[in-house]
Amino acid sequence: MKRRVAALLVSVVAIAIVPGSAQASPKPRVDMVPNGGPVMTGTTTVYAIFWESHAVDHNYDSHVKSFLKDLNGSSLTSLLKNYAAPDLATSAIGRPTNVTLGGTYHDTTTPLPTTQIGTPETDAAVLSEVQHAISVNLWPTGPHHLFLVFTGPGYQAGLTARLCGEHSFYFDAPTGYDVPYGFIPRPGLATCTPWGSNGINPTPSGSVRIDGALSTTWHEIAEALTDPVPRTGYDDPNYDEIADVCRTSYPNVTGGDNHNVVLNGHDYLVQGVWAIALGGCVVSGPPDLSADWIAFDFPAAPSTAITFTVYGGSTTSTLEVTDEYCQGDQFEIWDNGKDLGPTSYAIDSQCNGPNTGDAQTAFTDGGWSAGTFTLPAGTQSVSIQVKTNVTGSPTGTAAFAASAPTSAAQPGSIGQRVSGSSGINRNE
């Protein structure tokens, strides 16, 4: 759910987590596209504000702090590196890469709001609390700082509306920067926890309320980094951001404590986020096929670059595709006549940006268009079509890798199987 709060001159994005299965999958969506606005590039420093004028829950606070610390260098934050756009301050093209915890503050004196999340009164109170915490702690503001407000017992989300958290920004006139912040109230058990009112146990933390808070925290961080000024960064045609489209998706749940990700040795249960390179809701990256890249030439768009057979077995197989050399080319993937979708949005560099002939580097960097696709069991006829050729050159180079054996390609020319540089220079 999106709304704009004109009285505060800010844009607020609110999420809605509905009760249901923790492993439910969202409906297929059009891929995320940038709207010309910024992302929070590089490492973002997060500051946690615990607003606890009614009571303090030390166990709850401890889990939040641990989660924020564990995001540093994690598999979760690495999922955001494919969201390239101008930096929030410099306008230089970059991508989010990491999150670190910069500080915490416990406010036990300022009264909590008396209105629910999503109301103008609460929006004003949250903004005031963020500015109060920044002032008291002399915290820096700017394009690489994110402030998150958590509430203690006495104020919770999901009572009169299914809003579980939101993120926004304000303009700081002294510095000239937009300052992103988020609000994660204490979850209501019926609406803002991974299984809603079902209350399935055990959970990684031993508390569905804590697990709900941590999942909402990840939701808001992922969206703040990729859409810090709401509706200007990445969202889909419905204005849903990368976590909105996955709000009911908790993939890869395993173990006796029902976790789906391990960070720094700690088990967590968090919702997925949309990965444009993978085309779905995920909590982890693609399988390692780094030794299996096969380079191929592609012509100008639109045209078919390459067709080949994947000899899958009794289970699904994985196909990875990436552009190489000049950034900006993009591809559409077809399997037995079915459109599997495009590779990720490509930065139009016109060959003025970074250049690499290493497929694995291009695939993992985030600046080159890439994608991971799941193929059904059995033999599959795969075609890779050129959707965009950034230079219009008749010869470009890209690469694919599959987890199952493949045939020779028709009609495009296929290069050697490569691990590292292919030695082919195209679009230069």
Q: Mean pLDDT over all residues of the chain?
A: 83
Residue 37, pLDDT > 70, answer yes
pLDDT tens per residue, range 238-279: 889 999 999 889 999 998 899 999 999 999 999 999 987 677
Structure-block tokens of residue 293: 């890249």
CA atoms of 291 and 285, how far apart (whole Å): 16
CA dist list (Å): 367 to 82, 111, 253, 326: 7, 45, 30, 10
Give the pLDDT confidence score for residue 328 in this predicted structure. 87
Give the pLDDT confidence score for residue 277 in this predicted structure. 66
- Omega into 299 within 30° of 0, i.e. cis? no
CA dist list (Å): 86 to 77, 94, 225, 232: 18, 6, 12, 11
Instruction: Please identify, in words, the CATH class of the domain defined by 293-418.
Output: mainly beta
CA atoms of 49 and 185, how far apart (whole Å): 11
If one compares 281 and 13, the residue with the highest pLDDT of the two is 281
Look up tokens 């990445």; give the residue: 234
**pLDDT band of 302, cuts 50, 70, 90:** confident
Give the pLDDT confidence score for residue 416 in this predicted structure. 37
Region 197-208: mean pLDDT is 76
Closest CA to 134 of 102, 109, 168, 165: 102
**pLDDT band of 160, cuts 50, 70, 90:** low
Residue 22, pLDDT > 60, answer no
If one compares 119 and 19, the residue with the highest pLDDT of the two is 119
> So where are the chain's domains?
2-276, 293-418
